[in-house]
A and B are shown apart, each in its own frame.
Chain A
Amino acid sequence: MGRYLTRRVLQFIPVFLGATLLIFIMVWIIPGDPIRALAGDRAMPESVRAALTEEYNLDKPAWQQYWLYISGVFQGDFGTDFRGRPVSELMGQRIPITARLAILAFGFEVIIGIAAGIVAGVRKGNYLDNLVLTSTLVVIAIPIFVLGFLAQLLLGVQFPIFPVAGIREGWFSYLLPALVLGSVSLAYIARLTRAALVENLRADYVRTATSKGLSRLRVVGVHTLRNSMIPVVTFLAIDLGALMGGAIITETIFNIPGIGRAVFEGVQRQEGTVVVGIVTFLVFIYLIANLVVDVLYAVLDPRIRYE
Chain B
Amino acid sequence: MTQVPLQTRDLVAGKPAVPGAPLLSVENIHVEFRLDFGTVKAVNGLTYHVNERETVAILGESGSGKSVSAQAVMGIIDSPPGFVTDGSVKFRGVELLTMAEKERRQVRGERIAMIFQDALTALNPVFTVGWQIGEMFREHHGSTKKEGLDAAVELMDRVKIPLARDRVNSYPHEFSGGMRQRVMIAMALALDPDVLIADEPTTALDVTVQAQIMQLLSDLQEETGMGLILITHDLGVVAEVADRVVVMYAGDSVEKGEISDVYHNPAHPYTMGLMDSMPRHDVQKDRLNPIKGSPPDLMAIPAGCAFNPRCPYAQDICRVEKPHLHELGEAGRVSACHFVEEVRDARNRSGSRL
Contacts and interface: CB of A to CB of B under 8 A. Distances in A.
Contact of A207 (B116, B135, B187): B116
B114 interface: yes
A204 B125 contact: no
B344 to A, nearest CB: 39
A85 interface: no
Interface string B45-80: 000000000000000000000000001001010100
Contacts of A214: 105, 109, 135, 139
Contacts of A300: 126
B143 to A, nearest CB: 14
Nearest to A229: B126
Interface string B106-144: 111110011010100111111110000001100110000
B167 interface: no
A212 interface: yes
Interface residues of A, number: 21
Interface string A212-224: 1111001000010
Nearest to A212: B109
B34 interface: no
Interface in A107-161: none
A255 interface: no
B175 interface: no
Most buried by B among A212, A300, A301: A212
A282 to B, nearest CB: 33
B32 to A, nearest CB: 18
Contacts of B339: none
A150 B140 CA distance: 53
A205 B171 contact: no
B165 interface: no
Contact-size category for B: 20 to 34
B173 interface: yes
Most buried by A among B127, B128, B173, B184: B127
Interface string B80-120: 00000000000000000000000001111110011010100
A302 B173 CA distance: 9
Given A211-B74, A211-B113, A205 B105 contact: no
A211 B108 contact: yes
19 contacts: A204-B116, A204-B118, A205-B123, A205-B124, A207-B71, A207-B116, A208-B122, A211-B74, A211-B109, A212-B135, A212-B139, A212-B187, A213-B108, A213-B136, A214-B105, A215-B105, A300-B126, A302-B128, A303-B173
Interface of A: 202-205, 207-215, 218, 223, 226-227, 300-303
Given A205-B123, A212-B109, A212-B135, 17 more contacts: A204-B118, A205-B121, A205-B122, A208-B116, A208-B122, A211-B108, A211-B109, A211-B114, A212-B187, A213-B109, A213-B136, A213-B140, A214-B109, A214-B139, A227-B125, A302-B125, A302-B173
